[in-house]
Amino acid sequence: MFEHTSRYHALPTASLTLADGRVVAYKRRRFLPRGADMTALTEVEVGEGDRLDQLAARAFGDPEQYWRVCDANDAMNPAELVSEPGRSLVVPAPRAEAGR
């Protein structure tokens, strides 16, 4: 259902049977990890015009991994992380994912 690099990949799949008998598959809810519990790889300073996908591409070699930076910085709104140039962001260390 999701690529192995997705934040949703390891979540269990559940199903719901609708009143008309159709079965709908869905992923269970993802709870955000605490950034303080994550191992930091490094910190980066947000530059003028930086975007999270750019930071993730530099840190992980994959712009779609921006969500890892969000998790490490307890961000519910990703845009807030890069809204202030000069802000320091934690980049988390890679970790082994379930199923890899």
Question: Which residue, 32, 82, 91, is CA-closest to 62?
Answer: 91
| Domain coordinates in residue numbering, the chain | 1-31, 33-92
* Mean pLDDT over each residue of the chain, to the nearest integer: 91
Average pLDDT over residues 61-83: 94
Per the confidence metrics, is the pTM higher than 0.85? no
Question: Which residue, 42, 32, 36, is CA-closest to 7?
Answer: 32
Locate 74 and state its tokens: 């307890």
At 2-29, the pLDDT tens digits run: 888 888 888 999 999 999 999 999 999 9
What CATH number is given for 33-92 in this structure? Answer: 3.10.350
Total Cβ atoms within 10 A of residue 79: 9
Average pLDDT over residues 84-100: 78
Band of pLDDT at residue 96, cut at 50, 70 and 90: low
At 19-71, the pLDDT tens digits run: 999 999 999 999 889 999 999 999 999 999 999 999 999 999 999 999 999 99
Locate 92 and state its tokens: 């988390």
pLDDT recorded at residue 99: 39
